[in-house]
Amino acid sequence: MSVLRRLFEKKTLARDLLALSLVLGATAVQAEGPSLAEAYKALASRKMVDLTHSFSPSTPVWQGFGQATFTTASDPKTYRPYTLEKDGFRTTFYSMVGQYGTHVDPPAHFHENGITLDQIPLREMLLPLVVLDITPLLGKDPNHAITVQDILDWEKKHGRVPEGSFAALRTDMYKDFGNPERFKRHPFPAWSLAAVQFLFEKRKITAIGHESLDTDITSTLDAEKWVLGQGRYQIEVMAHLDKVPPTGALIVVTWPKVANGLGFPARAFAIVP
Amino acid sequence: MSVLRRLFEKKTLARDLLALSLVLGATAVQAEGPSLAEAYKALASRKMVDLTHSFSPSTPVWQGFGQATFTTASDPKTYRPYTLEKDGFRTTFYSMVGQYGTHVDPPAHFHENGITLDQIPLREMLLPLVVLDITPLLGKDPNHAITVQDILDWEKKHGRVPEGSFAALRTDMYKDFGNPERFKRHPFPAWSLAAVQFLFEKRKITAIGHESLDTDITSTLDAEKWVLGQGRYQIEVMAHLDKVPPTGALIVVTWPKVANGLGFPARAFAIVP
């Protein structure tokens, strides 16, 4: 057997093992706290807040991608669109870039060997949520990028950012979503590289999210590149971060399982104490 | 101020607000059971099982829709595909029908006035999961449609199907997903109309899911039409229902928020006791 072939088979085996472990989820830790039935009761009795925009062909998108098109799905043989009257059902055919609407960016979006969105563990889809609000700073500088000092100030009021949490940046920019030209402005309120480095390295958070189309305003997308380079995902174009508390909520954040996915529309919602 | 004192004051405030809301007759749901932090601990320490297939251009799909195409996203002006080398990122352009891979069917898929997938409440995206296993009956009839009696037999062993739960039909048909021609066979193990009527009317479940491309084998899709006609959603093409227990697990099931969506890829996973 050639060395190359052996290498390939090893890689395949490793991939199969990875796939298997992803299917089964991370090895279960010892069950802690209340039963699942009690936990369910606690979650189901709370208010839930949608952190996701509805998306359509007119949704603001980065100009380098272009708008999605939604058409009535048709029979691929006759090109006749399906109708409720003739066929008993109707549905839609989508043509769109993965980075559309509220969406997930996996590490592979920016990095050759980064994991794709089908490889992100289920365990990272239910997390404590912290919301870092920089709206009070935007009067003075409408394009303020959150600093490490801003995070330390936040911690003085709300306690330490919990390990393993999802940190969302509140800017109220989501309110411009219905005005695509304003929503796509540059610069915009954003993350700084130092802030995301502090959150992932010192606070050991799991993921970030923000309301804008991009993580930061540098031409090389330094903060985005760094976050994805850590093997971490981010959620872009989030909504309603003004409707959840700074701390104490949980976020459910998932996306369809696109094989080798480099980005796709996602759904995020908060469960509020 | 000490953490304990802050906690105490928060608790007192919460109690006062609760009292106030009772006085005012507010309709907010009352928080029950453990705190969100305790609930999170219970969920995060459990095993999670992905109930979703990865989808790709070769995924089995109903022949009346045709395969998805995935292409490298390009600059809409120059048609040059983006590359990591030149652009620092890469992503995918998708052309596909909404009913692709593991997907959600909202009521509007079959009914003029049914709700679309962006209108399904968040509250229906986290539910107790019951798995009705008909694999022992498939030796005798490989296309058995689950009956009311089968459900009553299940209840003798596992207790009453809980109100508000997500009922999934286990057939192990998901194992044929990698063999599209076999996966798309007709007939196949399915729901009967009487079984879904019993579950929604007598057990008051919230949603159903199954491993096949369709709910039932009637030419008029009687069970599917009836379920969606109740204002309820269903998840099709589920996976790994053999890896979750008949009862006691929770399901997290969500999908991107497509405006007026008639169907779209979804993500479902179980949290297992």
Is B193 within 8 Å of B235 (Cβ atoms)? no
Check CB contact under 8 Å for B97 and A91.
yes
Q: Which residues of B touch A156 (CB under 8 A)?
A: none
Is A68 within 8 Å of A57 (Cβ atoms)? yes
DSSP A101: S
Q: Which residues of B touch A82 (CB under 8 A)?
A: 64
Check CB contact under 8 Å for B110 and A91.
no
Q: In terms of C-beta density within 10 A (0-12 exposed, 13-18 middle, 19 or more buried), how is residue B87 classed?
A: middle
Provide the greatest CA pair distance for chain A.
67
Cα angle A270, B253, A17; round to 5: 110
Name the residue among A92, A97, A254 with its Cβ closest to that of B254. Answer: A254
| Per-residue pLDDT band at B30 (split at 50, 70, 90) | confident
Q: Has residue B164 got a pLDDT over 50?
A: yes
Q: Which residues of A touch B122 (CB under 8 A)?
A: 48-50, 269
Name the residue among B36, B123, B248 with its Cβ closest to that of A36. Answer: B248
* Mean pLDDT, rounded, for B178-184: 96
Measured in angstroms, the CA of A146 and the nearest CA of chain B are apart by 24
Instruction: Specify the 3-state DSSP secondary structure of A227.
Output: helix
Element (H, E) at B156: helix B148-158
Query: Cα separation of B92 and A264, whole Å?
Result: 9
Query: How many other β-carbons are positioned within 10 Å of the β-carbon of residue B4?
Result: 8
DSSP string, A8-41: HHHHHHHHHHHHHHHHH-SPPPPP-SS-HHHHHH
Q: What are phi and psi of A249, to 5 degrees?
A: -90, 165
Residue A12: its pLDDT value, please?
52
| Per-residue pLDDT band at B206 (split at 50, 70, 90) | very high
| Per-residue pLDDT band at B33 (split at 50, 70, 90) | confident
SS (H, E, C) B101-127: CCEEECHHHCCCCCCCHHHCCHHHHEE
Residue B29: its pLDDT value, please?
58
Residue B183: its pLDDT value, please?
98
Name the residue among A94, A108, A112 with its Cβ closest to that of B98. Answer: A94
pLDDT tens, position by position, B105-155? 999 999 999 999 999 999 999 999 999 999 999 999 999 999 999 999 999
* Mean pLDDT, rounded, for B16-42: 66
Question: First CA to last CA across chain A, in angstroms?
Answer: 60
Closest of A195, B218, A246 to residue B227, by C-alpha: B218
Cα angle A258, A260, A261; round to 5: 50
Residue A70: its pLDDT value, please?
97
Strands B47-50 and A267-272: unpaired
Name the residue among A29, A94, A271 with its Cβ closest to that of B94. Answer: A94
Residue to test with chain A: of B254, B269, B271, B272, most A Cβ within 10 A: B254
Q: Which residues of B touch A89 (CB under 8 A)?
A: 109-110, 221
Check CB contact under 8 Å for B256 and A262.
no
Domains of chain B: 48-55+99-272 (3.50.30.50), 68-96 (no CATH)
Residue B257: its pLDDT value, please?
98
Residue A21: its pLDDT value, please?
52
Q: Has residue B2 got a pLDDT over 70?
A: no
| Per-residue pLDDT band at B165 (split at 50, 70, 90) | very high
The runs of H, that is alpha helices, within chain A are: 3-24, 36-44, 84-87, 148-158, 180-183, 193-197, 222-229
Neighbouring-strand partners of residue A47: A272
Residue to test with chain B: of A40, A85, A271, most B Cβ within 10 A: A40
| Both tokens assigned to A47 | 């208010």
Query: Cα separation of B56 and B59, whole Å?
Result: 5
pLDDT tens, position by position, B123-134? 999 999 999 999
Query: Cα separation of B2 and A44, whole Å?
Result: 31
Q: Which residues of B touch A40 (CB under 8 A)?
A: 126, 128, 250
Assess: ipTM above 0.85: yes
Residue A126: its pLDDT value, please?
98
Is B183 within 8 Å of B176 (Cβ atoms)? yes
- Is pLDDT larger for residue B183 or for residue B5? B183
Chain A residue closest to B27 (CA)? A47
To the nearest whole number, what is the mean pLDDT of chain B? 92
Residue B95: its pLDDT value, please?
98
Please name the residue that has the structure tokens 């709700």: B115
Check CB contact under 8 Å for B122 and A50.
yes
Name the region of A254 (left: φ>0; alpha: ψ -120 to 50; beta: rest).
beta
pLDDT tens, position by position, B70-80? 999 999 899 99
Check CB contact under 8 Å for A252 and B250.
no
Residues for chain A: how many in total? 273
Check CB contact under 8 Å for B38 and A42.
yes
Name the residue among B41, B99, B128 with its Cβ closest to that of A40. Answer: B128
* Mean pLDDT, rounded, for B19-35: 57
Residue A32: its pLDDT value, please?
79
The interaxial angle of helices B36-44 and A36-44, nearest 10 deg, is 140
Give the up-direction half-sphere exposure of residue A108: CA atoms within 13 A in the CB hemisphere: 17
Percent of chain B with pLDDT over 90: 87
Query: Cα separation of A102 and A267, whole Å?
Result: 7
Check CB contact under 8 Å for B49 and A25.
yes
Q: What are phi and psi of B47, to 5 degrees?
A: -70, 145
Q: Which residues of A touch B34 (CB under 8 A)?
A: 33-34, 38-39, 42
CB pairs under 8 A between A and B: 283
Sign of CA dihedral A110, A111, A117, A121: negative
Q: Which residues of A touch B37 (CB under 8 A)?
A: 128, 248
Q: Which residues of A touch B55 (CB under 8 A)?
A: 256-259
Measured in angstroms, the CA of B40 and the nearest CA of chain A are apart by 8
Give the up-direction half-sphere exposure of residue A133: CA atoms within 13 A in the CB hemisphere: 13
Is B68 within 8 Å of A93 (Cβ atoms)? no
Instruction: Specify the 3-state DSSP secondary structure of B167.
Output: strand
Is B233 within 8 Å of B225 (Cβ atoms)? no
Q: Identify the segments of chain A with pLDDT beneath 70.
A: 1-29
Is A227 within 8 Å of B237 (Cβ atoms)? no
Q: To the nearest 5 percent, what fractions of chain A are helix, strand and coil?
A: 30, 20, 45
Give the up-direction half-sphere exposure of residue B102: CA atoms within 13 A in the CB hemisphere: 28
Instruction: Specify the 3-state DSSP secondary structure of B178.
Output: coil
| Both tokens assigned to B235 | 């998840």
Is B99 within 8 Å of B221 (Cβ atoms)? no
Q: Which residues of A touch B220 (CB under 8 A)?
A: 88
Does residue A265 have a cis peptide bond before it, meaning omega lies within 30 degrees of 0?
no
Residue to test with chain B: of A92, A93, A105, A113, most B Cβ within 10 A: A92
Q: Has residue B240 got a pLDDT over 80?
A: yes
